[in-house]
Structure 1
Amino acid sequence: MTERIDAVLRSGKAPNLHGLVVRRSGNVVLEWYGAGADHRLGESLGHVEFGRDTLHDVRSVSKSVVALLYGIALGEGLVPEPGEGLVRQFPEYADLVEDLGRAHLTIEHALTMTLGLDWTEDAPYTSTANSEIAMELAPDRYRYVLERPVVEAAGKRWNYCGGATALIGGIIERGTGRPLEEYAAGVLFQPLGVEDFQWSKGKDGLAMAAAGLRLRPVDLAAVGQLVLDGGRGIVPGGWLQEMLRPRVVIADGFEYGYHWYVSTGDRHWVEAIGNGGQRLLVVPGEELVVAITAGEYEQEQTSATAVLDAILDR
């Protein structure tokens, strides 16, 4: 594997790779850091020499971490079950709670991104044509999501939606009585030995649940190891089984669980994916965890793909 990765790096097929950590059978077997231009949610950080202690945006890998936090809070009895109504978790929006056209929405629909609401993230994440950016600029992020027009039946079709994660983050904050980043520190990161992380906030002061997490690659890999190990009492094992069960088809052999991607092909794996080439891959049958950070924001993620192809020898 090391030889294949070296070949990729020498060939220039991964020019925007920033960090790579591979764990096999619980041990770090490869750790590599590069250099290049980087951003923090669109804010230029200039040229960065990456190292073990350099925090990096993990972008939408944040969504998968939020799913872990929801599972922890559920195990503590602090948040409702996935089958509970979604809109009524936000009683301040009385008009929406009373809207019979939204009464069928559940927390599970948010976890599986099958809300059936008018939402698009096809536009660049620098444009208000992107629903997630519009949400971040709205006076009230939760109302913005919940009042989107209903365009199809919930639970039928996967539609990528950062707003769904924002709602899950809000439910966690309300249930635990703590800001999302504070709850994450206490119940997930500190037990994992993660001493340094950041969670970018919106103009409203709330953690950007869908994309704001910044971690060291070694700590991102530690999150993957936790998933591989069945939760280790930090995340309930039963929740991990539910979270990683394929629930809605994205493409042939590629499905979605609760905010995690799941391969249903011959080689089973689960993955968290973020814009720019941020990847966290867990391959249970091979005791393998791969954490990648890269700088290919708003472009094809060729660096991460080349590295994963080399690691998986495909």
Structure 2
Amino acid sequence: MDSRALTDRLARAVEQDRVPGLHAVVVAHRGRVVLEHYGEGEDLRLNEPLGHVRFTPDTLHDVRSVTKGVVGLLYGIALADGRVPEPREPLLRHFPEYPDLAEDPRRAALTVEHALTMTLGLEWNEDAPYTSAANDEVAMELAPDRCRYVLERPIVEEPGVRRSYCGGATALLARLVEKGTGSALADHARDRLFEPLGITRFEWVTGADDTALAAAGLRLTPRGLLAIGRLVLDGGRGIVPASWLATALRPHVRLDEDSCYGYHWYTGRGWAAASGNGGQRIHVAPPLDLVVAVTAGQYDSPGRQTASAVLDEVILPAIER
């Protein structure tokens, strides 16, 4: 991959407005950074306007639901330590504070794996804007007990059959990690994932109760995103167990003809990804020895995401085959 040619391709895409709202992109190919671009534009910290930002390698950026992929990795680390339940274990067994919910045999049949694959079969809607309490993720964070809010949602379909996008599933996994490790989620992430990767700059936004917003609250630099992608490409580097990654990135639920869902990661033929609202992306393609990290400001925008345009129109066509 020619770095100069790749930089030129991206510059043309920016000039032609084919990658709207692009804030940054960092690309590693065959172990070498071949592209690093930082732009500028309006940005948010969740729903807090930050104004016009000139992005640099040190600028923290919302990664939104890429956070879910990180929680999936943290769960695997905690599982290897014997701190959290195996995926096949009943979910409510590990929430004894809700004995009334466990009396329902249908809820008692829910497993940790149903949360990992977002196949809980519960009523959950995140189609409303993330500024509205009509969005279940927002309503969960406003509830006095976020885990009860999730676990008492009506059961509307057979668990394990269909993925229904659910930030509540991530909140449950995060709570299991915090219970098992005795550490706040951000502390566990710093000690067992970020610092071993050399990630020194991060922020995990918390709710009113000072609990990390597990579904979408993480803020990282693009280089931090790239480091996580390289970890996945390299089989965990002994930080995340390779056996966990192999399971997490295996197709568990089909989404469409091109993609599936694993344990909080998207996966397809020759690639895996963590994706977030607004155009945030970690894209890992092992057959190409390629990792791409993208941040953008298309929050709540319908249609094709900037990250997809960066991949499909700039990076993938430039790879020497």
Within 5 Å, give how 1:8-47 maps onto structure 2. 8-47=13-52
Structure 1 residues 166 and 15: CA distance shift in structure 2, 3 A: same
Residue equivalent to 2:10: 5
**Offset of residue 90 of structure 1:** 1.0
Which of 300, 306, 309 is the equivalent residue of 1:306?
309
Answering whether residue 151 of structure 2 is matched by residue 146 of structure 1, we say yes
Which of 167, 175, 179 is the equivalent residue of 1:170?
175
Residue equivalent to 2:3: none
| SS of 1:39 mapped into structure 2 | strand
**Offset of residue 302 of structure 1:** 3.8
**Offset of residue 171 of structure 1:** 0.3
Residue equivalent to 2:93: 88
| SS of 1:45 mapped into structure 2 | strand
Answering whether residue 143 of structure 2 is matched by residue 135 of structure 1, we say no
| SS of 1:135 mapped into structure 2 | helix
User: Is the 1:78–1:176 contact (alpha carbons within 8 Å) kept by the matching residues of 2?
Assistant: yes
Amino acid at match of 2:66: V
**What is the CA–CA distance in structure 2 between the aligned matches of 1:297 and 1:253, rounded to whole Å?**
24
**Offset of residue 196 of structure 1:** 1.1
User: Is the 1:58–1:214 contact (alpha carbons within 8 Å) kept by the matching residues of 2?
Assistant: yes
Residue equivalent to 1:118: 123
Amino acid at match of 2:308: T
**What is the CA–CA distance in structure 2 between the aligned matches of 1:3 and 1:19, rounded to whole Å?**
15
- CA root-mean-square deviation: 1.1
Structure 1 segments of 4 or more deviating over 4 A? none
Answering whether residue 280 of structure 2 is matched by residue 278 of structure 1, we say yes
**Offset of residue 120 of structure 1:** 0.8
Which of 259, 263, 266 is the equivalent residue of 1:254?
259
Within 5 Å, give how 1:228-247 maps onto structure 2. 228-247=233-252
Amino acid at match of 1:305: S
| SS of 1:29 mapped into structure 2 | strand
- Give structure 2 stretches of 5+ with no counterpart: 1-5
**Offset of residue 293 of structure 1:** 0.3
Residues paired across the two proteins, number: 311
Amino acid at match of 2:7: T
* CA deviations over 1:140-179 (Å, ceiling 9, x no partner): 0000000000111100011000000000000000000000
User: Is the 1:217–1:293 contact (alpha carbons within 8 Å) kept by the matching residues of 2?
Assistant: yes
**Offset of residue 205 of structure 1:** 1.2
**What is the CA–CA distance in structure 2 between the aligned matches of 1:162 and 1:115, rounded to whole Å?**
11
For normalisation by structure 1, the TM-score amounts to 0.97
**What is the CA–CA distance in structure 2 between the aligned matches of 1:20 and 1:223, rounded to whole Å?**
14
**Offset of residue 2 of structure 1:** 3.2
For normalisation by structure 2, the TM-score amounts to 0.95
User: Is the 2:110–2:159 contact (alpha carbons within 8 Å) kept by the matching residues of 1?
Assistant: yes
**What is the CA–CA distance in structure 2 between the aligned matches of 1:158 and 1:305, rounded to whole Å?**
22
Amino acid at match of 2:34: V
Structure 1 residues 243 and 253: CA distance shift in structure 2, 3 A: same
| SS of 1:67 mapped into structure 2 | helix
* CA deviations over 1:85-105 (Å, ceiling 9, x no partner): 111211111101222120110
User: Is the 1:112–1:257 contact (alpha carbons within 8 Å) kept by the matching residues of 2?
Assistant: yes
Amino acid at match of 2:167: G
Residue equivalent to 2:113: 108
Residue equivalent to 1:210: 215
**What is the CA–CA distance in structure 2 between the aligned matches of 1:313 and 1:26, rounded to whole Å?**
19
- Identical-pair percentage: 60
Structure 1 residues 84 and 302: CA distance shift in structure 2, 3 A: closer
